[in-house]
Amino acid sequence: MNTETHPSRTLYGIQTRTSNETPHEIAALWQRFMADGIADEIPERADDRLIAAYFDYQGDHTQPYTFFLGCEVIDVDCAPEGFALRSLPAGRYAAVQARGPMPKTLIESWQQIWQSDLPRSYLADFEVHDPSQPDEVAIYIGVQ
């Protein structure tokens, strides 16, 4: 795994509190996001990519966290009513590329990450989903 330094990013979207014990909650948020066309409602998007982010870890990956789904934005003053505003912190991230049929490949990649000995920070992790490459997801794991 390569380690990269990323700047902070401002995101708008929707979120839910969940854990790895209740993966159906993440699937339900994805379903809502796609069915309701939420990305299209987010103004001032930086690009067409979707960001799935993991924040507010209660401890490590076995404990509850906040799952966020949205887009990076370039103007923080344009938040529509009902959207969550989040900031991905600047810092070092281990980069993992998931390539193959989704969501199976993405789930397998996360299982490998959970079993790894990465010195995780548990401040934030995120995925970048590019609609033009549906069988590829970039995963970034916050590291110390």
Q: Do residues 36 and 6 touch, judged by C-beta distance below 8 A? A: no
| CA-wise closest residue to 51 among 143, 124, 144 | 124
Contact by Cβ (8 Å): 139, 109: yes
- What is the domain extent for residue 8? 2-143
One pLDDT digit (tens) per residue for the chain, 144 residues: 799 999 999 999 999 999 999 999 999 999 999 999 999 999 899 999 999 999 999 999 999 999 999 999 998 777 778 899 999 999 999 999 999 999 999 999 999 999 999 999 999 999 999 999 999 999 999 999
The CATH number of the domain holding residue 23 is: 3.20.80.10
Closest CA to 116 of 137, 92, 88, 96: 96
Q: How far apart are CA 13 and CA 102, in angstroms?
A: 21
Domain count, the chain: 1
Phi, psi dihedrals of residue 121, rounded to the nearest 5°: -90, -25
Nearest to 54 by CA among 66, 64, 62: 66
